[in-house]
């Protein structure tokens, strides 16, 4: 009911949303990147607004479409998809050279409750249950292996009940449901907060800084000189652990004496967003990833040449990719940075 009320309120002005126009342009741009090598994953994890938002932030994902699938009824709509046996789901179009199906499932597990057979968070009913719809036998094999591994991990104290079913047909949801988190950000944030999704995820994954994809904006800080990357001297790049966005290079990393990984600049202008931070009774400049929105750390005007800046980052917000693995991980465009002149 809560979701329906939010939808009714938002529908009154969604068609005139300037943000909505920007979202359409971005989708069109991503569609231009798709080709014969593009792969599709179909996943259901409760509210498709949230699932779409979570996957669109992942590096290697070209676009995500919200819709309905899994049921026998034809041409479902938002008003009747449950009666026709469908679930809310998304189709993730991705570049397999940049992100694997295994990684997509890793992201999927970290944004749902796989132990809940009656729905997801505040949304109740079988049409909100979690399902992996496999498109071929290879996806089925990977999905079963991934689910078994999660069950044996001890992360949850209840059985994993997410279904693995053969994909049949997908119906795109109505236009106003696509990119809802962009076209109606206030309504989306209010709904997501009220659903309890992020609170659950933070509780389940709060002690896992390396393998978890944190909820947007959430990071878990380890002390100076006791975090993973403060003294890392290997060559490679650092990406947002949540979204996979490339952020910094080891070529710009230096020992600032602070016990935190420090850089003189991002990999390229525009990869990070800076905003004023007035917490702790002082004024600082916060650094966030542009698309994932994750808090990365702060930037200070006391760094070395050539920029004079110190990007002081939180190891828990980063993932390091050695230069030897850049191609395999989908960051091949950065290999040339480490080639000897």
Residues that are catalytic: 47, 312
Q: How many CB atoms lie within 10 A of CB 80?
A: 12
- CA distances to 61, 100, 116, 310 from 106, in Å: 14, 10, 18, 33
- For residue 290, the Cα-to-chain-centroid distance in whole angstroms is 12
Q: How many CB atoms lie within 10 A of CB 207?
A: 8
Helix, strand, coil shares, percent, the chain, to 5: 35, 25, 45
Written as six digits, the tokens of 23 are 């979202």
Q: Report the DSSP beta bridge partners of residue 69.
A: 87, 170
Residues found in the chain: 341
Q: What are phi and psi of 244, to 5 degrees?
A: 80, 5
Q: Is 28 exposed, middle or buried (0-12, 13-18, 19+ CB in 10 A)?
A: exposed
Rounded Cα distance between 240 and 290, Å, is 10
Rounded Cα distance between 276 and 294, Å, is 15
Question: Any idea what DSSP says for residue 205?
Answer: H
Q: Report the DSSP beta bridge partners of residue 275.
A: 286
3 state SS of 126: helix
Contact at 8 Å (CB) between 263 and 252? yes
Question: Any idea what DSSP says for residue 310?
Answer: E
């Amino acid at each position: 009911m809560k979701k329906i009320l939010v939808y009714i309120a938002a529908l009154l002005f969604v068609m005139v949303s300037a943000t909505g126009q920007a979202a359409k342009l971005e989708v069109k741009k991503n569609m231009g990147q798709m080709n014969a090598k593009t792969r599709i994953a179909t996943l259901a994890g409760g509210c498709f607004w949230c699932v779409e938002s979570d996957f669109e932030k992942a590096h290697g994902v070209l676009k995500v479409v919200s819709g309905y699938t899994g049921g026998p009824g034809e041409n479902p709509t938002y008003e009747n998809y449950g009666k026709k046996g469908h679930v809310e789901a998304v189709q993730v179009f991705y570049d397999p050279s940049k992100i694997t199906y295994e990684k997509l499932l890793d992201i999927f597990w970290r944004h749902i409750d796989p132990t809940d057979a009656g729905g997801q968070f505040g949304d109740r009913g079988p049409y909100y249950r979690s399902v992996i719809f496999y498109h071929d036998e290879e996806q089925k094999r990977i999905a079963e292996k991934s689910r078994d591994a999660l069950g044996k991990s001890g992360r949850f104290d209840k059985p994993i009940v997410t279904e693995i079913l053969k994909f049949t047909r997908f119906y795109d949801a109505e236009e106003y449901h696509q990119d809802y988190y962009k076209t109606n950000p206030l309504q989306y944030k209010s709904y997501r907060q009220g659903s309890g999704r992020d609170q659950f995820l933070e509780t389940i994954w709060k002690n896992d800084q390396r393998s978890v994809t944190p909820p947007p904006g959430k990071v878990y800080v380890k002390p100076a000189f006791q975090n993973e990357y403060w003294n890392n001297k290997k060559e490679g790049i650092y990406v947002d652990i949540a979204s996979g966005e490339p952020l910094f290079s080891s070529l710009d990393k230096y020992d600032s004496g602070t016990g935190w990984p420090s850089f003189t600049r991002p990999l390229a202008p525009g990869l990070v967003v800076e905003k004023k931070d007035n917490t702790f009774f002082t004024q600082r400049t916060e650094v966030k990833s542009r698309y994932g929105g994750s808090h990365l750390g702060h930037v200070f005007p006391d760094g070395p040449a050539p920029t004079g800046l110190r990007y002081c980052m939180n190891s828990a917000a980063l993932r390091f990719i050695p230069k030897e693995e850049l191609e395999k991980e989908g960051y091949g465009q950065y290999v040339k940075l480490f080639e000897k002149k």
